[in-house]
Structure 1
Amino acid sequence: MSGRGVTGKGEGRGAVRPRAGAARLLTVAGLAFAAAGSSGLSVMAQENGMATMGSAIAIDRAGEGTGDSLPAFNSDAAGILRSGEAAAALPAIAADDQPFDATDPRRPSPARSAALALQSPAAPLGAEVAAEPGAVVPSAAPTVGDGAPGLGEGTNGTATESGAAPGPALAAPAVSAGETAFSKRLAAIVASELARFAARSADREALTAYYTARNFQPAFTGEGGLAPIGQVALDTFAVAGAEGLDPADYAVPPLAANADAAQLAETEMRLAATTLLYARHVQSGRFDPKTLSKDVDPSPTVPDSAAVLARVADARDPQDARAALASFAPQYDQYRLLKEQLAQLQAQGQVVSHAPIPPGPSLRPGESDPRVPLLRARLGVGVDAGAQEGDEFYDDRLVEAVRAFQRLAGQSVDGIVGRGTLAALNDAGADPIPDIIANMERWRWLPHEVAPAYVMVNIPEFMVRIVVDGSPVHETRVVVGKPETQTPILSESMQYAVFNPSWHVPPSIIRNEMLPKLRADPYALVRQGIDVVRNGRVIDPGTVDWRRAGTQGYSFRQEPGERNALGRMKFMFPNKHSVYLHDTPSRALFARDRRAFSHGCVRVHEPMEFAEALFALGRPGEGWSQQRLSRLLGGDEKSLPLKNKFPVHLVYFTSFVDGNGRLVTREDLYGTNAATKSALGIGGARQFADRRADTVRR
């Protein structure tokens, strides 16, 4: 349910994971977060004394999966315009007097700080100043799409200021008295020819500053050939396919034997510019994800071009350069696991594709069906002893194979080959490589710096996890948005929880759902506990002619209570989509395999356990057990802020590796995976790349 949305009793809890849940969570919380000064809370004043620390937090595995599939992807219905969770820990957090905020942009990136420290001496950086409220502070950081390459910078579309069109020619930089033929040629390239090598203005500026500062001396080339750093760069570009990239995007013409100074200068600049392109693609992606849909709204971290050159070109040795180039790839463990799966499939050569199993009525154990031979071939199961070849009988051996597949695919393990199982079988029978590449691309949409703790909702998996130091400490089922009211893809900061929330109905739901009800029956909303408010006062909806009146000037509010669409609590990470995590009175929906029923918000199964795990991290050492939290339920709305804030990632991964090392897939619920593959040109026309053959010149 969303600030955009709502729609029915809780089912059994999943098996408990064999992890030292609360003890580990609380221990890590104490180490990972700096303690904040105590502050008075209105909530605490409402309690009858301080509660002691609660019992250990159970770590639930509530199940995972999907069910019936959607019809073939419809871009209009899905809102697409063009048609796993472990992490590496960050370096130790510096102790200070401020509460730790993993998303605070004022805290410098350790990787960026290290890179800047390696730069050649340049003009001193300006002192950082704290802006007054409302003040506009210029930023040197990339800003297009909050971290995504802009149009003309890795995407198809109209070129922007940072596109390939060159600006006015730069004045020829001064060269020292010890100039050489190489430095003269390189200076000329920097002065007027950089647009041939770099499409983005930020890259051109960084290349100009870098080579001017080093007096146009080479970094990637040496006397008559490649320098060790240059060879490392070429080797990395050649195996870009291991990262799910296209090596053709990073092709550098070979350097001729006995190359002259002009040829060396050309290769020098080509290697430097391609290093910037590769770093940006492998870290923040090859196209702007926001162009896919209004609900695809992540904030990838574009690497700073100057920092990339400082980290790679000024590396101490080839090993350091290799490590630098590797560091730009996503550092989440699931990305690494997908990369390993990709390598295995690429090593196997051609992937065996299976003939699709045609649609039809649900196939149940003991029935006969002409599709059974195809089902046997798909699962690699022969007929039982004594049965005839091509037997169409759905026997016990095949039923067990179907059950095993359903378990892996996260579906109801019932042995019935219905619409959902059939779609999953056909999906899994296709070449998995394009899907792996598309999912690796979406890992680049996350912030590059991996927070020590974060909340991750994987939309197609219908699961939420709280991850600390690379391992899930709590997970449970969720309900996400319907395809027509999608849960957006985004990253924001968890700020606070609200107990006994009121629901202020969003305009879209008022217009699309409530106004038709009012026109049929003015008191329909009253029976749902929803008040009609005008000028701050609750009015009698029977006094309004809803057949003639619109909703302008009216608001609709549901007071706290058992029937409230948000349930007993909501977890807030403010964002422009007005979505959040919350409880729900519609508990029966969590028993479904395919849980896409909301208007965009994320409904959480067993929210009290989720809240306990959340506050063990957000307010460590304060003993916010379920028992203590339950005292906040009932009565007026109450807000409880987190002292330690951490990211919330709403993500969309249809392929990931499970705990047994197996590649599993989920339904492409919103068509986002198909749209990603289309944008990447996988299996179709290429729709991105700011540097292709026309810019690769000898």
Structure 2
Amino acid sequence: MSGRGVTGTVEKKSAMRHRAASRSMLAVATGLALAAAGGPGLSVQAQEFYGSAIAIDRAGHGTGDSLPAFDADAAGMLRPGQAAAALPAIADDSQPFDALDPRRPSPAHSAALALHGPDAPLPVESTAPAPVAALAPATTLPSAPMVGDGAPGLGEGTSGTPTGAAPPASSAPSPATAEPAAPAVTPFSTHLAAIVESGLARFASRPTDREALAAYYTARNFQPAFTGESGLAPLGQVALDTFAGAGAEGLDPADYAVPPLPADADAAQRAETEMRVAAATLLYARHVQSGRFDPKTLSKDVDPSPTVPDSAAVLARVADARDPQDARAALASFAPQYDQYRLLKDQLAQLQAQGQVVSHAPIPPGPSLRPGESDPRVPLLRARLGVGLDAGAQEGDEFYEGALVEAVRAFQALAGQKVDGIVGRNTLAALNDAGADPVPDIIANMERWRWLPHEVAPAYVMVNIPEFMVRIVVDGSPVHETRVVVGKPETQTPILSESMQNAVFNPSWHVPPSIIRNEMLPKLRADPYALVRQGIDVVRNGRVIDPGTVDWRRAGTQGYSFRQEPGERNALGRMKFMFPNKHAVYLHDTPSRALFSRDRRAFSHGCVRVHEPMEFAEALFALGRPGEGWSQQRLSRLLGGKEKSLPLKNKYPVHLVYFTSFVDGNGQLVTREDLYGTNAATKSALGIGGARQFADRKADTVRR
């Protein structure tokens, strides 16, 4: 048994975040990356900060194989050379950036104005600006982005957790400085000022975008950035080229369409185009960075916190670019910076270049097909896998053998199934599912990468729910991975990002109300001592009572609590790993070890059960308490006896994610079952692919 439980008093998030977390997490590559990659290891700076290497004896890859510690190639992980580079440091903040703290601005936002000031703008054709005093309407500084409002319509984007800060105010001129001459009013500046004053709602639907546009153009005295007297400026052409290529990012170019500017355009037309391009830039940046709809509308168990770009920072970064190359780089920087996103983007480009995807006739259901047997479905199976006849075989041959069996085995490996060559129900379903057009699935998975924090943390833990795997990632490369058990479709593991705080050894299990009501009360009514035999105490007013003294057929559970003391039978096993969240889920050990041998491991009430938890704990503390020697042997001394908590000094993110399509270490696109229907729901929200039956979501908020 596993899953969501009562975790006690939860501290405020601000107190949980370590001020030096994002810098110090680079430490672990000292020992872990050396063992994984055989490469040069940490940077000089990290070596100076953390000193000697940290080694782990064996990788918890969950297969039982005796592999060298963190051998990425042997374990089938991405190789060290495929790491995702963190975004460039362009600001010197007084505190380290915490990707999970919405109150800390992103470095890109904090320094955008300073980095790309107006002293060296991308060349534009000259248009004399209008006087500020004469043209500037009453404006307010842009406010932080707001929570998104559902599926997108044309011209709408997603908002989420505020991440930006207001642009710095310009310094006032010194008394000795002469007041500059007022710029001349031009037809263009007059029309643009009129749009800013009363017409912005036609171009931007969100108040934050309208405020940013008004402030930006007022500050530059209504000087154009994207257009000039003779048409589009170089920056405008870069923006339109980026919008036209939005399909490469899994977006719809039609959402950012700007009518062409006539060759003989007058000032009013140029002002309209200027504002359309600027507004489309904000929409594109928001879509490509944080997604096209609010993911929380899909389900209460879909609860990520996308990093919504600040509108003022977007304009400052893009519109004041130094040259076209810098402008293209600025627009590209809003896309997710994770390696898997780029790998999916490459797969999408290959499929788009191939044109129409060939579809295959579905293989009908039937009994399991084993090597050596004959079945009328064999010709369809050959066509689906592109396998020709073996030597000496006749057309229409229905024997399942030879090269076809090997092709099925290879497919099972890619689909994450047991590699036995038997075409059973699960393999057949995967064959039919994978035979469809993969493009909508790739686009839906790219969309879910936008739900992660935009800043790539130097180290993080990632649980991919449909893959039933957890990985510890340092500098973009996995340094530890192992199998997990996740929630059942009716008690789903939520999608979220939080901060790993501590590990608890010898935990007690306080049974959540939902499990008491739905599972334990029926057992008590049938046998008052059923829970006692499982080591679960019934508690009333702080005292353990005899459950046989209660008439459970008439009584409810109000006023009673249920607690399982630490021990071998405890549902949480010997340890749990805490990242406080409103869903009350965590990673933990389990006494039900046999479930890890299953291919489909969805058995918990929402929490994540970890295979080989001691190896996982060792890798975890190599990150969280580097240099302290928390080996498995030392950690084992904490087992037994009363509950003990060991906090992490370095806090880092835990991402519970849902990726059904991804690229493996061999560059192959692989797919997994849409366990909860979340992939189908994503495609439906985006209006792509065929609609599928969603998983039943009648589940309680707090589960174990």
Which of the five TM-score ranges fits, normalised by the shorter chain?
0.7 to 0.9
Instruction: State the distance in 2 between where 1:567 and 1:140 align.
Output: 47
Out of 320, 329, 334, the residue aligned to residue 335 of structure 2 is 329
Which is further off, 396-405 or 96-105? 96-105
Q: Report the secondary structure of 2:46's partner residue.
A: helix
Instruction: State the distance in 2 between where 1:546 and 1:569 align.
Output: 32
Instruction: State the distance in 1 between where 2:564 and 2:406 align.
Output: 48
Match of residue 20 from structure 1: 35
Tell whether 2:403 aligns with 1:408: no
Out of 310, 315, 318, the residue aligned to residue 304 of structure 1 is 310
> How many Å apart are 1:683 and its aligned residue?
3.3
Equivalent pair of 1:154/1:288 in contact (CA under 8 Å)? no
Q: Is there any run of 5+ residues in structure 1 with no aligned partner, and where?
A: 6-16, 37-51, 65-83, 122-137, 162-174, 686-698
Tell whether 2:622 aligns with 1:601: no
Match of residue 564 from structure 2: 558
Match of residue 61 from structure 2: 61
Q: Report the secondary structure of 2:403's partner residue.
A: helix
Say if 1:63 and 1:331 are closer, same or farther in 2 by CA, change over 3 A. Answer: farther
Say if 1:152 and 1:487 are closer, same or farther in 2 by CA, change over 3 A. Answer: closer
Tell whether 2:145 aligns with 1:142: yes
Tell whether 2:464 aligns with 1:463: no
Instruction: State the distance in 2 between where 1:606 and 1:411 align.
Output: 21
Equivalent pair of 2:497/2:656 in contact (CA under 8 Å)? yes
Q: Report the secondary structure of 1:538's partner residue.
A: strand
> How many Å apart are 1:509 and its aligned residue?
0.5
Q: Report the secondary structure of 2:346's partner residue.
A: helix
Instruction: State the distance in 1 between where 2:155 and 2:242 align.
Output: 25
Q: Report the secondary structure of 1:608's partner residue.
A: helix
Match of residue 111 from structure 1: 108
Match of residue 549 from structure 1: 555
Equivalent pair of 2:464/2:659 in contact (CA under 8 Å)? yes
> How many Å apart are 1:95 and its aligned residue?
10
> How many Å apart are 1:242 and its aligned residue?
0.3
Instruction: State the distance in 1 between where 2:441 and 2:564 align.
Output: 43
What whole-Å deviation, never above 9, does each CA across 1:344-399 have from its counterpart, x for those lacking one? 00001111111110111111111111111100111111222222211111112211
Equivalent pair of 1:21/1:59 in contact (CA under 8 Å)? no
Equivalent pair of 1:19/1:59 in contact (CA under 8 Å)? no
Q: Report the secondary structure of 1:498's partner residue.
A: strand
Match of residue 569 from structure 1: 575
| AA of the residue aligned to 1:115 | A
Instruction: State the distance in 1 between where 2:383 and 2:59 align.
Output: 39
Tell whether 2:524 aligns with 1:523: no
Match of residue 353 from structure 1: 359
Say if 1:159 and 1:424 are closer, same or farther in 2 by CA, change over 3 A. Answer: closer
Out of 183, 197, 205, the residue aligned to residue 199 of structure 1 is 205
Q: How does 1:269-348 map to 2 (within 5 A)?
A: 269-348=275-354
Match of residue 4 from structure 2: 3
> How many Å apart are 1:58 and its aligned residue?
2.3
Instruction: State the distance in 1 between where 2:371 and 2:294 align.
Output: 47
Equivalent pair of 1:224/1:264 in contact (CA under 8 Å)? no
> How many Å apart are 1:198 and its aligned residue?
0.2
Say if 1:537 and 1:26 are closer, same or farther in 2 by CA, change over 3 A. Answer: farther
Q: Report the secondary structure of 1:441's partner residue.
A: helix
Match of residue 31 from structure 1: 46
Say if 1:370 and 1:591 are closer, same or farther in 2 by CA, change over 3 A. Answer: same
Which is further off, 504-513 or 99-108? 99-108
Match of residue 223 from structure 1: 229
Match of residue 85 from structure 2: 88
Say if 1:111 and 1:96 are closer, same or farther in 2 by CA, change over 3 A. Answer: closer
What whole-Å deviation, never above 9, does each CA across 1:271-305 have from its counterpart, x for those lacking one? 00000000000000000100101100000011000
Q: How does 1:429-578 map to 2 (within 5 A)?
A: 429-578=435-584
Which is further off, 196-205 or 391-400? 391-400
Tell whether 2:189 aligns with 1:190: no
Say if 1:159 and 1:303 are closer, same or farther in 2 by CA, change over 3 A. Answer: closer
Tell whether 2:607 aligns with 1:614: no
Instruction: State the distance in 1 between where 2:468 and 2:276 align.
Output: 45
Say if 1:156 and 1:355 are closer, same or farther in 2 by CA, change over 3 A. Answer: farther
Q: How does 1:229-268 map to 2 (within 5 A)?
A: 229-268=235-274
Q: Report the secondary structure of 2:648's partner residue.
A: strand
Which is further off, 486-495 or 101-110? 101-110
Instruction: State the distance in 1 between where 2:495 and 2:588 align.
Output: 17
| AA of the residue aligned to 1:185 | H
Match of residue 46 from structure 1: none
| AA of the residue aligned to 1:2 | G
Instruction: State the distance in 2 between where 1:290 and 1:648 align.
Output: 18
Equivalent pair of 1:100/1:645 in contact (CA under 8 Å)? no
Say if 1:609 and 1:510 are closer, same or farther in 2 by CA, change over 3 A. Answer: same
Equivalent pair of 1:530/1:558 in contact (CA under 8 Å)? yes
Q: Report the secondary structure of 1:268's partner residue.
A: helix
> How many Å apart are 1:112 and its aligned residue?
1.4
Instruction: State the distance in 2 between where 1:256 and 1:179 align.
Output: 23
Query: Once superposed, what is the RMSD of the aligned Cα atoms?
Result: 3.1
Say if 1:582 and 1:387 are closer, same or farther in 2 by CA, change over 3 A. Answer: same
What whole-Å deviation, never above 9, does each CA across 1:600-631 have from its counterpart, x for those lacking one? 00000000000000100100111101010000
Percent identity of the aligned residues? Answer: 84
Say if 1:27 and 1:621 are closer, same or farther in 2 by CA, change over 3 A. Answer: farther
Match of residue 72 from structure 2: none
| AA of the residue aligned to 1:31 | A
Match of residue 702 from structure 2: none
Instruction: State the distance in 1 between where 2:473 and 2:481 align.
Output: 9
> How many Å apart are 1:582 and its aligned residue?
0.3
Out of 406, 417, 433, the residue aligned to residue 427 of structure 1 is 433
Instruction: State the distance in 1 between where 2:268 and 2:92 align.
Output: 52
TM-score (norm 2): 0.81
Instruction: State the distance in 2 between where 1:499 and 1:586 align.
Output: 17
Match of residue 663 from structure 1: 669
Instruction: State the distance in 1 between where 2:89 and 2:273 align.
Output: 40
Match of residue 378 from structure 1: 384
Say if 1:274 and 1:465 are closer, same or farther in 2 by CA, change over 3 A. Answer: same
Say if 1:118 and 1:185 are closer, same or farther in 2 by CA, change over 3 A. Answer: farther
Instruction: State the distance in 2 between where 1:226 and 1:96 align.
Output: 37
| AA of the residue aligned to 1:58 | R
Q: Report the secondary structure of 1:257's partner residue.
A: coil
Match of residue 124 from structure 2: none
What whole-Å deviation, never above 9, does each CA across 1:508-546 have from its counterpart, x for those lacking one? 111110011011111100000001111111111111111
Q: Report the secondary structure of 1:639's partner residue.
A: strand
Instruction: State the distance in 1 between where 2:673 and 2:106 align.
Output: 36
What whole-Å deviation, never above 9, does each CA across 1:385-414 have from its counterpart, x for those lacking one? 222211111112211111111111111010
| AA of the residue aligned to 1:417 | V
Instruction: State the distance in 2 between where 1:185 and 1:203 align.
Output: 19
> How many Å apart are 1:34 and its aligned residue?
7.2
Instruction: State the distance in 2 between where 1:482 and 1:573 align.
Output: 21
